[in-house]
Structure formats: C-alpha cells, structure tokens
C-alpha cells in the first residue's frame, strides 16, 4: 500500500518547546516537501529536499528545521523560535523536483497551548 504517512495526526505543545513532525513515504520519490496551511491562505512552502542529505528553504523557513538522512523520511522540527506555530502541516513528495505532481500526506494539526 503505497503512500505518504504523517504522524501524529494531532499534536499539542506548550510554548517554548520544540516538536518534531514525522513524514514517511514508500513511493520511492526523490523529492519531498513541507507546507504549512492556515485558514484563507492556501499552502506555503517551508522546506523542500530534492535528494538525500540536501534540502533548501522555502518561503517561510524561519523557526523550522529539517533533515533528510533517508530517501523515505523527511522530519520537520518546529522550534521555539517559530512565533505562531499553530497550523495544519502537510508533507508531500514527487518523483523528481520540478513541475510534476506532488502527492500529499494526511497532515498533522499542531496546536500550541
């Protein structure tokens, strides 16, 4: 059963804490992406990775960090430096980086208490 899994589905954190969101894909895709979704704003790119051990900042990378040690995994850490972290976070992947279809995971809803 191929696809993208994100965990957990819901996440609560206290202010000042770092938290890591998991994203795993078994589609053998080279490229992976992290987006943030807020009401009325569409999706905004946080980070993306075209190959293992390489990643680039997107439009809103401040307060976030990523790693890409394995092709199938692209975890996102929301640090305490992110001023407004409450949002819906979506991970995506595509065969190659570029103008091709991106497949999305089911998302993680992060709430800061």
Alpha-carbon torsion, ordered 49, 68, 82, 107, to 10 deg = 80
Question: How far apart (Å, rounded) are the C-alpha atoms in residues 43 and 53?
Answer: 25
Residue count, binding to another protein (CB under 8 A): 27
Residue 100 binds to another protein (criterion: CB under 8 A): yes
- How many other C-beta atoms are found inside a 10 Å radius of the C-beta of residue 91? 27
The residue (of 80 and 103) whose beta carbon lies closer to another protein is 103
Is there binding between residue 61 and another protein (CB under 8 A)? Answer: no
**In angstroms, what is the minimal distance from the CB of 2 to another protein?**
14
Residue whose CB is less far from another protein, 19 or 23: 23
Among 2, 14, 40, 83, the residue binding another protein under the rule CB under 8 A is 40
Of 73 and 97, CB closest to another protein: 97
Strand 87-94 with 103-104, pairing: antiparallel
Which of 1, 14, 16, 42 is close enough to bind another protein by CB under 8 A? 42
Q: Are strands 87-94 and 54-57 parallel, antiparallel or unpaired?
A: unpaired
Regarding 60 and contact with another protein (CB under 8 A), the answer is no
Tokens encoding 60: 């809103």
């Amino acid at each position: 059963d191929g696809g993208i899994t994100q965990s957990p589905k819901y996440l609560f954190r206290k202010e000042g804490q770092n938290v890591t969101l998991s994203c795993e894909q078994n589609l053998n895709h080279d490229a992976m992406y992290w987006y943030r979704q807020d009401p009325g704003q569409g999706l905004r790119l946080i980070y993306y990775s075209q190959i293992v051990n390489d990643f680039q900042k997107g439009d809103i990378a401040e307060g976030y960090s990523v790693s890409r040690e394995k092709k199938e995994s692209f975890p996102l850490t929301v640090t305490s430096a992110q001023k407004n972290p409450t949002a819906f976070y979506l991970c995506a992947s595509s065969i190659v980086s570029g103008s091709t279809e991106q497949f999305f995971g089911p998302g993680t809803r992060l709430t800061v208490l």
